[in-house]
Amino acid sequence: MLGASRLGNIIPDPKVEKVLSGFQFTEGPLWVDGKLLFSDIPASTIYRWTPGADHAVIYRKPSGRSNGLTLDRSGRLIACEHDRRLTRTERDGTVKILAESYEGRRLNSPNDVVVARSGAIYFTDPPYGLNDKLEGKELPYQGVYRLGVRGKLTLLDDSFDRPNGLAFSPDESKLYIDDTARRHIRVFDVRRDGSICNGKIFAELKGPKPGNPDGMKVDVHGNIYCTGSGGVWVIDTSGEPLGVIETPEVSSNVAWGDNDFKTLYITAQTSIYRVRTTTVGCPSPNLTQAS
């Protein structure tokens, strides 16, 4: 394990606990109202799990092969769907399409998503939802987008190979975005108008064990928790890896949960894991608003 002593200040016992198993491929964990939502992409299902229960129940099916999940400022579920769209689930359960094309061309397959305090939605669009030959791909790039509160979709960056997980710093002055193919995280300055600039490599997540950069979150101190080789990498604000939370399966994403927001839930292939920390996860402004 990298930097085990430094990691121990945040995670005294790095051994993860398996919470659930038996799924096809889990992703998009999200803590909502004392329960954990998560996607099973191939099963086209969003599940909901209540702590203490021995199984999860179906929350939405079909889910459009949903991947990343978050809440908007009103507490409504936002989902990136491999069926090539970004959606919002309304209070009555109906699903509204927020974005499915850019400048007349279909999106690739929206992957992960965050919501800013302004209400703007940021999401990545790699082609993982397409087949190996990328049949039907209409856009010549893999973009990072911003959907404004008035519905305008803006391409923020088209230089990624496989843009994937993304997360704001606690003060939203920076946006972290990882590139699965290049195995690194980039950091951008966030302008007042919500656009991004000054992108640079923040951290390299290369290692000998299976796993690549995918989903990520931050804690209240600005430390980044990003899936990668061997498990979940913990990286400080300078880009220095503090250590790796090792997982038995290749990890795909993370989310803060439990009443004190000190438990890190981890989706990993067929299972859900968790580990307790001494820090507090950075609550998204949407979660704060919805509480």
Please answer whether residues 245 and 16 qualify as being in contact, where contact means their C-beta atoms are separated by less than 8 angstroms. yes
Backbone phi, psi, residue 289, to 5°: -65, -40
Burial 65-85 (b: 16+ CB within 10 A, else e): bbbbbbbbbeeebbbbbbebb
**Would the pLDDT of 77 be above 60?**
yes
Residue 52: both structure tokens together: 């203490």
Round the average pLDDT of the chain to a whole number and report it. 95
Q: Express each pLDDT in 179-205 by its tens digit.
A: 999 999 999 999 999 999 999 999 999
The pLDDT of residue 23 is 98
Write out the H or E segment, with its range, that includes residue 40: strand 35-40
Share of the chain above pLDDT 90, in %: 93
CA pair distance 86, 83, nearest whole angstrom: 9
DSSP lists the bridge partners of residue 179 as 163, 184
Indicate whether this model's pTM tops 0.85.
Answer: yes
- SS3 state of residue 289: helix
Residue 125, amino acid: D
Mean pLDDT of 206-226: 97
Q: Express each pLDDT in 91-114 by its tens digit.
A: 999 999 999 999 999 999 999 999
CA pair distance 143, 107, nearest whole angstrom: 9
DSSP lists the bridge partners of residue 178 as 185
**Domains recognised in the chain with CATH numbers:** 4-290 (2.120.10.30)
Q: Is 59 left (phi over 0), alpha (psi -120 to 50) or beta?
A: alpha
The pLDDT of residue 291 is 33
In total, the chain counts a number of residues equal to 291
Burial 246-274 (b: 16+ CB within 10 A, else e): ebebbbbbbbbbbeebbbbbbbbbebbbb
Please answer whether residues 151 and 168 qualify as being in contact, where contact means their C-beta atoms are separated by less than 8 angstroms. no
From the list 112, 44, 50, the residue with the least C-alpha distance to 78 is 112
Q: Express each pLDDT in 253-273 by its tens digit.
A: 999 999 999 999 999 999 999
CA pair distance 98, 166, nearest whole angstrom: 19
Mean pLDDT of 145-156: 97
- SS3 state of residue 81: strand
CA pair distance 231, 248, nearest whole angstrom: 8
The pLDDT of residue 14 is 86
Mean pLDDT of 210-222: 97
CA pair distance 168, 217, nearest whole angstrom: 8
Mean pLDDT of 54-82: 97
Mean pLDDT of 233-251: 97
In this structure, is the dihedral angle defined by the CA atoms of residues 161, 96, 227 and 57, taken in order, positive or negative?
negative
Rg for the chain, CA atoms, rounded: 17
- Banded model confidence at residue 5, pLDDT cuts 50, 70, 90: low
The pLDDT of residue 1 is 42
CA pair distance 146, 144, nearest whole angstrom: 7
- Banded model confidence at residue 282, pLDDT cuts 50, 70, 90: confident
The pLDDT of residue 285 is 52
